[in-house]
Amino acid sequence: MTSEKMVSQIKEWLNEAAGYIQVSLTNKLTVSQKSNRTDLVTNIDEEIQAFFIKKINQHYPNDRILAEEKGFDTIDSLKGRVWIIDPIDGTMNFVMEQENFCIMIAVYEEEIGQLGFIYDVMKDELYWGGKNQGVFLNEQRLTPPKDVGLSEGLLGMNAYMYGKNIYAAGEIGHASMGIRVSGCAGVELIAMLKGSHIGYISNLSPWDYAAGLVLLNEFGYQYSNIEGKPLAFANREYFLAATPTAYTQILENFIRR
Amino acid sequence: MTSEKMVSQIKEWLNEAAGYIQVSLTNKLTVSQKSNRTDLVTNIDEEIQAFFIKKINQHYPNDRILAEEKGFDTIDSLKGRVWIIDPIDGTMNFVMEQENFCIMIAVYEEEIGQLGFIYDVMKDELYWGGKNQGVFLNEQRLTPPKDVGLSEGLLGMNAYMYGKNIYAAGEIGHASMGIRVSGCAGVELIAMLKGSHIGYISNLSPWDYAAGLVLLNEFGYQYSNIEGKPLAFANREYFLAATPTAYTQILENFIRR
């Protein structure tokens, strides 16, 4: 079971992590490549992950952890209580823009999302919520955005999928009011929670979507892999989330046509 | 001649306009289509433009005006002193996101940019400067970003050009560290001034780039139409701006190859 105490703790940890990141940005980052030249990791990604792992081990020693950086990026199952963490989501933006990146934390129990936190550090905007508890921006409860169709709104998009028309992403983009590419899953999921964007198509790992799904769920958004099947919480996969109307239009008119 | 007084006046007008926009966002916008379903204009675009025109006519009755909305969107020449205005740059974002839009104002004399103002209203960030006067964020003087190459930075991009590989925009994007699509020229030009992005490729009208060029010039950025020829300040045209190194790489390795 999650609790109010757990929510308070996570907020406190996020706050400490954000303070550390803010100070770190005044120093030189150590940037390394992971799988390719545009897949970056910094010393801060690793230090923030280590910080959260230490806190979780200390307070919840029986819980398990799935997290982006090395040593924690695979898990055998989602049995029991599992924390899913992206210490810095949007590392490229973190390095290049020093903004438009997020910390994301989710708590799952027996495969069901219980708590989700997406923290836009530089804007100091924490979007968070829990199963049947609603969605909040900092301490303010948010209302669900309208269910609008594909042709009526902006769509967050992975640039590569759009450019190569993977799963008709280019055509889907053209059928919308336009695409936006932020380079950060957290920023895109926040745009959906705010009602700025009607959906998001990308290629994501579990730590990119775990927290977001808890919040999208509260607002009645639909999500799945790009073929309409449940997300596997395993490897990177093509991801689709949208308003119920746009989700159905995307699957029926573009993916399954 | 421009003067300190003119700079103060423009800042005051921008401030008034921003206040009006902030209040307007609490009411319902009247949104209309212009050339197509994704080319929008609101009552606020028109009201803000009318506000600036009134101010200019009152204080500088001999000056001429080129501005995005109807009645002012063509001009026979840039002789004398000309104000070039985009009352709301990024109208789609204004309507859908209520952020990521800018007010842009430029003052040109005998075809030469003298003053430029790009105001991100919701962030309350005014990037401004003048010929041989440097670039400022609000009251703080900025230092020019480093001259980095195409493979080392993020590139602001027009989604359509990227998706259709117009002037090799798709390939250019892949050669960079990644593309970003914000849907607002002002936001992209600001990203260059901050050093977050190394360049910007889009399809722009004079009011989209006039203010930005004054500021890019101060920082030694290169800019032209996509073929390397001077911008015409007339119709919409393909636009390229980048660090000197990236600009040369884009033209030589992709456009003129």
pLDDT over 90 percentage in chain B: 93
Q: Kindly list the residues from chain A whose CB atom is less than 8 angstroms away from the CB atom of residue B38.
A: 177-178
CA angle B220–B221–B225, rounded 5-degree value: 135
Q: Kindly list the residues from chain B whose CB atom is less than 8 angstroms away from the CB atom of residue A157.
A: 159, 181
CB contact under 8 A, A170 and B163: yes
Q: Kindly list the residues from chain A whose CB atom is less than 8 angstroms away from the CB atom of residue B183.
A: 154, 178, 180
* Residue A90 in tokens: 């949007």
> Tell me, what's the ipTM?
0.96
pLDDT band at B3 (very low <50, low <70, confident <90, very high): confident
- Nearest CB partner across the interface for B92, out of A151, A170, A178: A178
User: Between 3.40.50.150, 3.40.50.1820, 3.40.50.300, 3.40.190.80, what CATH number should domain B150-255 receive?
Assistant: 3.40.190.80
The pLDDT of B69-77, averaged and rounded, is 88
Which of A95, A179, A181, A187 best tests the B interface by mutation, with the highest count of B CBs <10 A? A181
| pLDDT at site A1 | 65
What does the radius of gyration of chain B's CA atoms come to, in whole angstroms? Answer: 17
- Nearest CB partner across the interface for B181, out of A165, A181, A194: A181
Q: Among all residues of chain B, which has the CA nearest to that of A97?
A: B196
CB contact under 8 A, B92 and A191: no
A142 at B interface, C-beta within 8 A: no
CB contact under 8 A, A96 and B159: no
pLDDT band at A3 (very low <50, low <70, confident <90, very high): confident
Cα end-to-end span (Å), chain A: 42
pLDDT in tens, A121-156: 999 999 999 999 999 999 999 999 999 999 999 999
Q: Kindly list the residues from chain B whose CB atom is less than 8 angstroms away from the CB atom of residue A194.
A: 97
Which of A28, A95, A101, A180 best tests the B interface by mutation, with the highest count of B CBs <10 A? A180
A130 at B interface, C-beta within 8 A: no
A145 at B interface, C-beta within 8 A: no
- CA B30, B35, B39, B45 torsion-angle sign: negative
CB contact under 8 A, A153 and B96: yes
Is pLDDT at B1 greater than 80 in this prediction? Answer: no
* Residue B236 in tokens: 């919409």
Q: Where are the domains of chain A?
A: 4-141, 150-255
CB contact under 8 A, B181 and A183: no
Measured CA to CA, the distance from residue A234 to residue A206 in angstroms comes to 6
Asked if A114 and A9 count as a contact pair (C-beta separation under 8 A), the reply is no
Mean pLDDT of chain A: 96
Say yes or no: do domains A4-141 and A150-255 share a fold: no
| pLDDT at site A145 | 97
Dmax (CA) for chain B in angstroms is 51
Which element (helix H / strand E) includes B95? Answer: helix B91-96
pLDDT in tens, A207-251: 999 999 999 999 999 999 999 999 999 999 999 999 999 999 999
* Residue A181 in tokens: 């590419």
Please give the class, per CATH, of domain A4-141.
alpha beta
B180 at A interface, C-beta within 8 A: yes
Q: Among all residues of chain A, which has the CA nearest to that of B178?
A: A38
Asked if A187 and A179 count as a contact pair (C-beta separation under 8 A), the reply is no
